[in-house]
Structure 1
Amino acid sequence: MKPIISYVIVIALTLFAGWFLFGKKTFNEVSEITNDAAITKIQAIGKLELVQINIKDVLEYTIKRDYLPDSRMLIMVNGEMAGCVDLQKIAEENITETKDTLFIKLPAPEVCYTKINHSKSKVYNASTFSWLDDETQMVESLYKKADAYFSSDSIKTIIVAETKKNAPTILVPLLENISNKKVILRYE
């Protein structure tokens, strides 16, 4: 009698363990995500984007240690910037015309936006100690450094210069076709 009870207990435990390990996977689980968005603000911009610049920046983060090997992370950050002219700032006094020429004084070019494209950025090399280093903090620190570089004055100067250079290429033919006059652009 005792061997039968022990066999029944072993079989019951085996069935329970089998159901616990493999049986749960047969149940269908349905994930549901709801999204309730509301428009909070609509704003007329009036900025004409004239140039877009893509930059790849390679950054290295190193933690030097005296007694343990150094930790190192290499990341390539892909950034995108755009230069534009705010057409809402053009007043009537900024436009003068003669018989055959139209003079337009444009506002100073500006940076529309700078952003990091996370989907195109990539960590290439990470030699860290999981129990000593916080890789998430290292990556976040590198992204902050790249964002500071993309927002720096040197990059802004490049964007503004490229926007100034590109504005006549885009605007002059358009305005000449509309006005049937020669167009000369100037900046404030």
Structure 2
Amino acid sequence: MKVFFRFLPWVILLAAVYFFISKKFSINTSVENKHQLLVEKIEAIGKLELVRYQISDVLEHKEKTDFLPEASILLVVKAEAVGCIDLTKITKQDIGIDADTAVVNLPQPEICYVKIDHKNSKVYDTKMAFFREAALVDDAYKAAEKQVTAEVKKSSILLQTKTNATNVLKPIIEGLGYKNVKFTFD
């Protein structure tokens, strides 16, 4: 019991020192952001999005230089492409009505946008990147965006947009009382 009372002050002193140091030297991190948003431009958009492709691309991007070893990065890139029709291009002359038949001349479908989904894309591996990793990742994403855009242009997205335009707009026009609805694309 004497031994216990001999070490008790030391235990109390160590606990007090630990408590003091942990409170005194604890690292508190605070983040402060100040934003001043300014709306620069407001545009009326009449584009009807009719089809969305979700795309995955596995990309191995290599960069070779004369004096550094070959650097490479492996990415799985998630992207989306949207096909649409710009309804603001329709004029009165594009709509023909004859008794119970409506003929609508729609504008040609277009690719509204192709964009990389950075939130769901992942960098899986980098080799020999050293201090150039950020630039390598940026270049890889740019290459992926170019490739995805090129592949989307080759795909059937515009044909699918035409089909979906007919499927979406036909019931609306039929709801106005027209039994026969025909679409053409200018």
Distance, in Å, in 2 between the alignment partners of 1:169 and 1:118 is 32
User: Matched residue of 1:78: which SS?
Assistant: strand
- 1:42 corresponds to: 42
- 2:159 corresponds to: 161
| Cα deviation 1:35-75 (Å, max 9, x = unaligned) | 11121211111111111111111110235699x97543210
Say whether residues 1:185 and 2:186 are aligned partners. no
Distance, in Å, in 2 between the alignment partners of 1:107 and 1:127 is 48
Return the letter of the residue paired with 1:90. Answer: I
Say whether residues 1:24 and 2:25 are aligned partners. yes
Distance, in Å, in 1 between the alignment partners of 2:52 and 2:46 is 17
- 1:56 corresponds to: 56
Return the letter of the residue paired with 1:62. Answer: K
- 1:86 corresponds to: 86
Distance, in Å, in 1 between the alignment partners of 2:173 and 2:147 is 36
Large movers: runs of 4+ above 6 Å:
none
1:87/1:36 CA distance change after superposition, 3 Å: same
Identity %: 37
Q: Matched residue pairs, number?
A: 167
Distance, in Å, in 2 between the alignment partners of 1:71 and 1:85 is 42
- 1:124 corresponds to: 124
Distance, in Å, in 1 between the alignment partners of 2:60 and 2:140 is 8
| Cα deviation 1:137-167 (Å, max 9, x = unaligned) | 2111110111112322x41243212211211
Q: What is the TM-score of this pair, normalised by structure 2?
A: 0.78
1:97–1:103 Cα contact (<8 Å) kept: yes
- 1:137 corresponds to: 135
- 1:4 corresponds to: none
1:73–1:128 Cα contact (<8 Å) kept: no
Q: What is the TM-score of this pair, normalised by structure 1?
A: 0.77
Distance, in Å, in 1 between the alignment partners of 2:138 and 2:129 is 17
Unmatched 5+ stretches in structure 2: 1-16
1:173/1:75 CA distance change after superposition, 3 Å: same
Distance, in Å, in 1 between the alignment partners of 2:100 and 2:165 is 21
Q: Of 170, 173, 181, which residue of structure 2 is paired with 1:172?
A: 170
Distance, in Å, in 2 between the alignment partners of 1:136 and 1:31 is 24
Distance, in Å, in 2 between the alignment partners of 1:129 and 1:41 is 40
User: Matched residue of 1:45: which SS?
Assistant: coil
Distance, in Å, in 2 between the alignment partners of 1:90 and 1:179 is 20
1:105/1:151 CA distance change after superposition, 3 Å: same
